[in-house]
Structure 1
Amino acid sequence: MVDGHQTFVIVGGGLAGAKAAETLRQEGFTGRVILVGDERDHPYERPPLSKGYLLGKDERDSVFVHEPSWYAQADVELHLGQSVVAVDRAARTVRLSDGTVLGYDKLLLATGAEPRRLDIPGTSLAGVHHLRRLAHAERLRQVLASLGRDNGQLVIAGAGWIGLEVAAAARSYGAEVTVIEPEPTPLHQAIGPELGQFFADLHTEHGVRFHFGARLTEITGQDGMVLGVRTDDGDEHPAHDVLAAIGAAPRTALAEAAGLTLADRAHGGGIAVDASLRTSDPDIYAAGDVAAAEHPGIGARLRVEHWANALNGGPAAARAMLGQEVAYDRVPYFFSDQYDLGMEYSGWAPAGSYDQVVVRGDAGKREFIAFWLKEGRVLAGMNVNVWDVTAPIQQLIRSGGAVDADALADPSVPLDSLSGQG
């Protein structure tokens, strides 16, 4: 039973936490809502940090989830620039970095993820960057503009989504870009080699140089500044700046110290939650990048580091905290913009999970939909410069039935006519 005397504490000042607070008020919760964020900025969305804001197309204010005045209007108490350093589950309290102790009836952990660090010599040099926070994007935007003016060299470690989006942004400024990636194609683990090669070709046409099958072993410098990088196959590349884009790790230290169950690190780690986003403690929930949830539709535990998961997971956790029946079963979704290419990806088909890739449309013209299949069932779909097809793609995934690959590849066959075939 939820009443107006209860206090709900949200740890994490990102999209998931902000949308959870909004949902609590929308659902009529009249108790205290306290949001704790370790950045001084109000909660903001992260996709613009590697897209519109980094490119200089979007203003800084456009990234925020709500207007700053919204929090007072919604009676959401903010503790910005503060981190939660301890959770006392027995006392149902959290302790902040300034010593403040807050009691809670329900607690939501939306602590997100943090960039993985390069464990090599030279990472303390000026000119080594990560991209996760608004301050990172502000700095990197200035760096890319400067590199563009001076024909400077940017080396990116990692050809994942962040690495590729920054590569596209850097080229738009005129910077020279080299991407170092240990796998044989970009996005190799995320979407497999077939479509990974498509993205390699896209970036190569725009002047990006790739060095596949290699890892950085050292960042070299002089007088505290970056001069270049070395790789494990003996190559050297000049560099004025280096971006580490080798993935993100869920911020689970707080949950681990509190004794909450964590997911297997081999499967992405994170805080283990059920389909209602409840942790091993019935009064504590987790959402967003840090949550590894049992997905009813996919039948596996997933930790998804994408915008839509934070957008939808925060509200789902809020409703569960209010005692509503929740089964968080949304099809994973994300999007990316690179040069004149826009894409949306729905589903879950990491390398090794599928046995066929079907393409509908013209990949040469970069207007197509790719489908990843397993025994005829659609696991995932990615539409590239083709729009308003997310709903039928997700329905194909949800249906779980086998589809005819030839019909799937035929643009004259409506996608919604294929859904649910046995």
Structure 2
Amino acid sequence: MRRIVVVGASAAGLAAVETLRREGYDGTLTLVGDEALPPYDRPPLSKQLLAGEWDADRLPLRTPADLTALDLDLRLGVAATGLELTERTVALADGREVPYDGLIVATGVRPRRLPGEGAHVLRTLDDALRLRDRLAPGRRLVVVGAGFLGAEAAAVAWRLGARVTLLEPAPVPLAHAVGTEVGEVLTRAHLDRGVDLRCGVTVTEVTEGGVRLADGESVEADEVLVAVGSQPNTEWLDGSGLPLGDGVVCDAYCEAAWGSPRPKAGGVYAAGDVARWYNPLFGVSMRIEHRANAAEQGMAAARNLLRPEARKPFAPVPYFWSDQYDMKIQAYGFPRGHDEVAVVDGDLAERRFVAVYRTGDRVSGALAVGMPPKAVRLWRQAIAAEARWHETVRRRRPPGSDFLQIT
């Protein structure tokens, strides 16, 4: 295998090319990215950078010297526009084609938008800088969507003195992911600070002076941030033969071409936010939009591509974190669709607790707010070991603490 192409120059793509070189690959290695900037870190965009605590020069994931040492055929500022499996070529927006023997798709996601013009989104460095320049004391900001991204941006805007309205279609923000009671705890952090949080409302349109709701009401704003989820960047793969469905559909090894005719040589793998792969630890297909997963999956895909005879399933315990106001939120596992949640340490009312989640008869997730990292890492081990719920929850409950079953 003398030519490997990685499409997507963010965390997953960078991890892939670094792993390939570290594992001894010395052939041509092309890294394609649609942004003109070299790989940079995205989580700080809605936190430190938006708050003005960091400048943009703190975001690059590697120095220029580090990238030079990788000896890359670096194609930045040009998007991939098509894939030909039989000929094993990637078409680029500049009209060129890049041949490959092995390919890793790491094209990430883009923000969903609403009808109307003038709203901000928050995915790229330019997005964050544009919004930061518009935030100031007394400015009215409407944030559409109270998920983790919208909540983080609302918290930063509040700290900067903006008057924040947070609009959410669900009755309780994040309840689908963390449960109603935990979602209500996170919600109160906004209400306690005077954020105008409105749940159960649907925004139908961005207007010149704010947004319009489904019931016809207008909410005025100087700036609007839309944070209503994302879409995998797979359009460039339409008609390629790769299996697509809310991302690039992969097997447990992150191979993307398993459901279609395989190339004659080499394989096609996917990693990061764009990859929907079968995680054997949980027995489900999942697509994870978290920074840690992107890097880990980029490494796994690179190893499996390079040494297919020694492939290993990618079976991580997903991890993410979020900073909102004075809350540090950490979570492990895959609690979506859980059957039960219980607080095993701390107190919900104090916004300092560890909650664990049951799916079937096993521990499937854990979330901590305001707790030391070790308090939730213990539960990561239980999730990885596929620990049974009743015996594990009771055995690991801290001595003297109350066990609170929520649902």
Q: Same fold (TM over 0.5)?
A: yes
Secondary structure (helix, strand or coil) at the match of 2:65 reads: helix
1:313 alignment partner, SS class? helix
- Tell me the amino acid that sits aligned with residue 313 of structure 1: Q
Of residues 232, 239, 243, the one that matches 1:261 is: 243
What TM-score does the superposition give when structure 1 sets the normalisation length? Answer: 0.88
Contact 1:358 1:372 in 2 (8 A): no
Q: Could you say which residue in structure 1 is the equivalent of 2:247?
A: 270
CA distance in 2, matches of 1:359, 1:163: 28
Separation of aligned partners in 2, 1:34 and 1:374: 42
Using the TM superposition, give the Cα deviation of residue 367 of structure 1 relative to its aligned residue in structure 2, in angstroms. Answer: 1.8
How many angstroms apart in 1 are the aligned matches of 2:206 and 2:144? 11
* AA matched with 2:64: P
What is the alpha-carbon distance in structure 1 between the residues aligned to residue 162 and residue 174 of structure 2? 22
Deviations 1:168-218 (A, max 9, x none): 010010001111111011112221211110111011112211111111123
Q: Which of 363, 366, 384 is residue 398 of structure 1 equivalent to?
A: 384
Q: Give the 3 Å change call, closer, same or farther, for CA 413–14 of structure 1 in structure 2.
A: farther
Contact 1:230/1:237 (<8 A) preserved: yes
The counterpart of 2:228, out of the listed 237, 246, 271, is: 246
The amino acid of 1:353's aligned partner reads H
Instruction: Determine the C-alpha separation between the residues in 2 that align with 1:38 and 1:318.
Output: 21
Query: Would you say the 8 A contact 2:185–2:349 is kept in 1?
Result: no
Cα drift, residue 45 of structure 1: 1.6
TM-score scaled to structure 2, two decimals?
A: 0.92
Counterpart check, 1:134 vs 2:125: yes
Q: Secondary structure at the match of 2:332?
A: strand
Residue of structure 2 equivalent to 1:315: 299
For 1:364, the equivalent position in structure 2 comes to 349
Contact preservation (8 Å) 2:12, 2:271: yes
Tell me how far apart the structure 2 counterparts of residues 253 and 406 of structure 1 sit (CA, whole Å): 44
Supply the distance in 1 between the matched residues of 2:113 and 2:89 (Cα, whole angstroms). Answer: 32
| 2:183 equivalent among 196, 209, 222 | 196
> Following TM superposition, by how much is the alpha carbon of 1:69 offset from its aligned partner in structure 2, in angstroms?
2.5
Q: Structure 1 273/405 Cα, relative in aligned 2: closer, same or farther at 3 Å?
A: closer
Match of 2:289 in 1: 305
Identity %: 39
* AA of the residue aligned to 1:242: V
Deviation at 1:404? 4.3
Further displaced range: 354-363 or 21-30: 354-363
Which residue does the alignment assign to 1:143?
A: 134
Q: Specify which of 153, 157, 167 is matched with residue 154 of structure 2.
A: 167
Distance verdict in 2 for CA 1:299–1:376, change over 3 Å: closer
Could you say what secondary structure the match of 2:355 adopts? Answer: strand
Of 97, 100, 114, 1:101 maps to 97
Structure 1: 5+ residue stretches without partners: 222-226, 264-268, 415-422
Do the aligned partners of 1:358 and 1:408 also contact (CA within 8 Å) in 2? Answer: no
Q: Is the 8 A contact 1:71 1:78 kept in 2?
A: no
Counterpart-to-counterpart distance in 2, 1:17 and 1:233: 44
Distance (Å, rounded) in 1 between the aligned partners of 2:65 and 2:124: 22
**Aligned-partner Cα distance in 1 for 2:392–2:278:** 29
Kindly state the Cα deviation for residue 236 of structure 1 after the two structures are TM-superposed.
2.8
Measure, in 2, the Cα distance between the counterparts of 1:244 and 1:154. Answer: 11
Aligned residue in 1 for 2:8: 12
Instruction: Tell me if structure 1 keeps the 8 A contact 2:201–2:214.
Output: yes
Picking from 101, 112, 115, the partner of 1:116 is 112
- SS in structure 2 of the partner of residue 186 of structure 1: coil
Conserved 8 A contact 1:288-1:313: yes
144, 157, 163: which one pairs with 1:157?
144
Query: Per the alignment, do residues 408 and 161 of structure 1 end up closer, same or farther by CA in structure 2, a change over 3 Å counting?
Result: farther
Partner Cα distance (1:256, 1:310) in 2: 23
Identify if the C-alpha distance between structure 1 residues 63 and 12 changes in structure 2 by more than 3 Å, giving closer, same or farther: same
Q: CA deviation at 1:375?
A: 4.6
State the superposition RMSD in angstroms. Answer: 1.8
Of 11, 32, 36, the match for 1:40: 36
Quick one: structure 1 residues 406 and 259, their matched pair in 2 at CA, closer, same or farther if it must change by over 3 Å? Answer: closer
Distance in 2, Cα, partners of 1:141 & 1:408: 47
Q: Output one character per residue of 1:244-286: Cα deviation in whole Å (capped at 9) or x when no partner.
A: 10000111112233110123xxxxx111111111012461110
* Equivalent in 85, 88, 91 of residue 84 of structure 2: 88
What whole-Å deviation, never above 9, does each CA across 1:284-326 have from its counterpart, x for those lacking one? 1100000001001000000001111111010111101111422
CA shift at 1:357, angstroms? 3.0
Contact 1:333 1:346 in 2 (8 A): yes
For 1:29, give the aligned amino acid.
Answer: Y
Task: Please list the CA deviations of residues 4-32 of structure 1 after superposition, one character each: whole Å capped at 9, or x if unmatched.
Answer: xx011000011000111111111111111
Cα distance in 2 between the residues matched to 1:29 and 1:375: 43
- Note if 1:295 corresponds to 2:262: no
- Unaligned stretches of 5+ residues in structure 2: 402-407
